[in-house]
């Protein structure tokens, strides 16, 4: 099979949402329809011991939330589908933002009762900046919801994108009857408390009296609603969707497997195959002959039994071949990967090759960092994988002196994952961890204890912002570092960081030292 054929059958996408909108449940059901799993895990039910496939970390199973992006691939109807399930919680949004650089499209999950929530807006902003095509799945129709037209108005206004419903709900909550699939003109009936996979009843003529036989008195309202839909929303424009200007909308209930197959069937037909990616040097076309890719995520202890560490690599061009020689552009070193893996969350299997759109796991002994470019020899640099300036800071202290080695290794590896950022004070050598949310400290503490057998405690510190500093004037830089020596630190890569106590202190430093450049992301 040619590279072009393989490329065009790939669909690599992320599922994003505000916490508790049903994102991980939707992921499970997509895997179920794809035949990748045979029993969908209950994300929050203690009655079912099997957890969600995508929530493979122990803390995720305990909390019922995703705290790390997981990757799952499966074959469906001739397509190779790669799903990246992202954390919904805002404390882990940096992992989600990085993941969005590795996908070609996105499905946004929205709770039909709550509508658009703050985290959803933030994620949509990232998609808009990158012009990533978006599909909206409105979930939880089996519960009472907002008025459908009002909900669609809110989505269009708050997400700042034109929308086009490709299915339409028939009532909601206890009265929910199902959805009419506008995309393929079929009726799908909902049965409460039945999780069987439903098939659509073909329905071209909505004026047929057959409609009443299936949904009774709701037939009249459905006809009126659809007449309004056809009048208000123009026909679906595929090019506008691919350009990131139009979002198709589907309705369903992930909990009851309802509306999922219709979403998946439409998705594989309309979603883009791998697209060109901009590097600092040139535009990389997926059909280029030579392999290139970048590391967008690192995960330690993906298999706790083997203490393995994996670098997640998005293939962007050419064909990756096992045991071939490739170049790590940052270091200039060449290497070969003898055990590249494909993923089903924590489950891995060794693969012989991979094509653009695929996510490949490289076993890592600490040589890769997030943002690394891997190529077949060309010096190129992929862009857009920033680390943001943290908002919360704490000193990290060893709670068990007998486990110093384990603690240092654990902190080192977790920081490489991008879970948080590590700074070392140039004044007293103390280690400082910076995060964007309190929950990250709890996750770090939990994982250090359960994955590295190390205990730590955190001491609060008052800090406003960490700023990476640069200057073309060595004298000015030296003077700044000397004047601010008590507030200077280095990051994990040895770069100078100014730890500002307050907005006022930062403003004063910026006005006094005009030759110094202050950066608020680590990508510069």
Span between the terminal Cα atoms of the chain, in Å: 40
> Is 254 within the bounds of a domain?
yes
Same domain for 123 and 16: yes
**Residue 308 predicted with pLDDT over 90:** no
CB 61 within 8 A of CB 51: yes
**Residue 302 predicted with pLDDT over 50:** yes
pTM for this structure?
Answer: 0.80
> Is 77 within the bounds of a domain?
no
- In three-state form (DSSP H/G/I as H, E/B as E, the rest C), the secondary structure along 204-238 is CCCCCCHHHHHHCCHHHHHHHHHHHHHHHCCCCCH
In angstroms, what CA-CA distances link 58 with 12, 71, 261, 447?
26, 17, 30, 9
> Is 474 within the bounds of a domain?
yes
Instruction: Tell me 42's DSSP state.
Output: P
Q: Please state the rounded mean pLDDT for residues 212-231.
A: 90
Same domain for 264 and 119: yes
Two tokens, residue 456? 């730590």
pLDDT band at 417 (very low <50, low <70, confident <90, very high): confident
Same domain for 462 and 345: no
Between 128 and 36, the higher pLDDT residue: 128
Full domain range(s) for residue 465: 392-519
CB 470 within 8 A of CB 516: yes
> Is 263 within the bounds of a domain?
yes
So what's the pLDDT on residue 270?
96
**How many of the other CB atoms lie within 10 Å of CB of 433?**
23
**Residue 47 predicted with pLDDT over 60:** no
Two tokens, residue 80? 């190779």
Same domain for 263 and 290: no
Domains held by the chain: number: 3
**Residue 386 predicted with pLDDT over 70:** no
Same domain for 27 and 59: yes
The pLDDT tens digits for 325-376 are 999 999 999 999 999 998 764 467 899 999 999 999 999 888 898 889 999 9
> Is 380 within the bounds of a domain?
no
Two tokens, residue 219? 């037939």
Per mean pLDDT, which range of 64-68, 195-199, 416-420, 468-472 is the poorest?
A: 64-68
The pLDDT tens digits for 252-283 are 999 888 899 889 999 999 999 999 999 999 99
Same domain for 346 and 265: no
Helix axes 404-416, 438-452, angle to 10 degrees: 130
Same domain for 451 and 355: no
Give the position of tokens 């123009």.
Answer: 234
Instruction: Tell me 45's DSSP state.
Output: -
Same domain for 316 and 237: no
**Residue 319 predicted with pLDDT over 80:** yes
C-alpha–C-alpha distance, residues 50 and 42, integer Å: 7
- Domain termination residue (choose one: 246, 270, 294): 270
> Is 345 within the bounds of a domain?
yes
So what's the pLDDT on residue 287?
95
> Is 80 within the bounds of a domain?
no
So what's the pLDDT on residue 235?
87
Mean pLDDT (the chain) is: 86
The pLDDT tens digits for 158-167 are 999 999 999 9
Q: Please state the rounded mean pLDDT for residues 20-28.
A: 87
CB 172 within 8 A of CB 143: yes
Same domain for 485 and 346: no
Same domain for 227 and 160: yes
- Domain termination residue (choose one: 244, 270, 296): 270
In three-state secondary structure terms, 488 is strand
DSSP states of 107-153: EEEEETTTBS-HHHHHHHHHHHHHT--EEEEEE-TTS----HHHHHH
Give the domain CATH number at 245: 3.40.50.300
So what's the pLDDT on residue 192?
67
Same domain for 469 and 338: no
- Domain termination residue (choose one: 270, 299, 314): 270
Q: Please state the rounded mean pLDDT for residues 120-145.
A: 91
Two tokens, residue 336? 């070969």
So what's the pLDDT on residue 328?
96
Same domain for 288 and 265: no
> Is 506 within the bounds of a domain?
yes
CB 43 within 8 A of CB 55: yes
């Amino acid at each position: 099979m040619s590279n072009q054929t393989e490329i065009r059958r790939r669909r690599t996408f992320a599922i994003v949402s505000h916490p508790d909108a049903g994102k991980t449940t939707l992921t499970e059901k997509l895997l179920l329809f794809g035949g990748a799993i045979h029993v969908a895990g209950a994300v929050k039910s203690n009655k079912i011991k099997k957890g969600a496939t995508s929530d493979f970390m122990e803390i995720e199973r305990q909390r019922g939330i995703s705290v790390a992006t997981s990757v799952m691939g499966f074959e469906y109807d001739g397509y190779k589908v790669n799903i990246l399930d992202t954390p919904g919680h805002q404390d882990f949004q940096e992992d989600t933002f990085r993941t969005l650089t590795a996908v070609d499209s996105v499905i946004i999950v929205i709770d039909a009762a709550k509508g658009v929530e703050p985290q959803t807006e933030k994620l949509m902003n990232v998609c808009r900046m990158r012009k990533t095509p978006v599909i909206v799945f409105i979930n939880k129709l089996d519960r009472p919801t907002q008025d459908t037209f009002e909900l669609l108005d809110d989505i269009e206004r708050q997400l700042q994108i034109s929308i086009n419903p490709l299915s339409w709900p028939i009532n909601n909550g206890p009265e929910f009857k199902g959805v009419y699939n506008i995309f393929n003109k079929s009726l799908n009936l909902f049965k409460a408390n039945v999780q069987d996979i439903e098939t659509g009843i073909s329905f071209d003529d909505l004026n047929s009296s057959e409609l009443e036989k299936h949904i009774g008195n709701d037939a009249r309202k459905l006809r009126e609603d659809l007449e309004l839909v056809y009048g208000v929303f123009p026909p679906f424009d595929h090019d506008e969707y691919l350009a990131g200007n139009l979002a198709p909308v589907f309705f369903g209930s992930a909990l009851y497997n309802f509306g999922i197959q219709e979403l998946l069937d439409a998705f594989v037909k309309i979603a883009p195959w791998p697209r060109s990616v901009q590097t600092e040097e040139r535009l990389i076309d997926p059909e280029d002959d030579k392999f290139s890719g970048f590391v967008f995520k690192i995960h330690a202890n993906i298999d706790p039994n083997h203490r393995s560490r994996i670098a997640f690599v998005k293939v962007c061009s050419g064909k990756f071949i096992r045991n071939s020689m490739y170049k790590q552009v940052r270091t200039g070193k060449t290497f070969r990967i003898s055990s590249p893996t494909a993923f089903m969350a924590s489950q891995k299997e060794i693969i012989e090759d991979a094509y653009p759109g695929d996510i490949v796991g490289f076993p890592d002994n600490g040589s890769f960092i997030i943002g690394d470019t891997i190529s077949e020899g060309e010096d190129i640099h992929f862009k857009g994988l920033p680390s943001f300036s943290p908002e919360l800071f704490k000193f990290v202290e060893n709670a068990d002196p007998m486990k110093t080695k384990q603690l240092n290794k654990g902190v080192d590896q977790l920081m490489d994952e991008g879970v948080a950022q590590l700074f070392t004070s140039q004044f007293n050598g103390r280690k400082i961890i910076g995060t964007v949310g309190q929950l990250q400290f709890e996750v770090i503490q939990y994982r250090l204890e359960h994955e590295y057998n190390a205990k730590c405690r955190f001491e609060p510190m008052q800090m406003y912002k960490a700023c990476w500093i640069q200057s073309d004037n060595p004298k000015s830089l030296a003077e700044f570092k000397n004047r601010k020596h008590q507030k200077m630190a280095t990051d994990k890569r040895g770069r100078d960081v100014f730890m500002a106590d307050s907005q006022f202190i930062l403003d004063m430093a910026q006005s006094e030292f005009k030759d110094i450049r202050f950066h608020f992301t680590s990508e510069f």
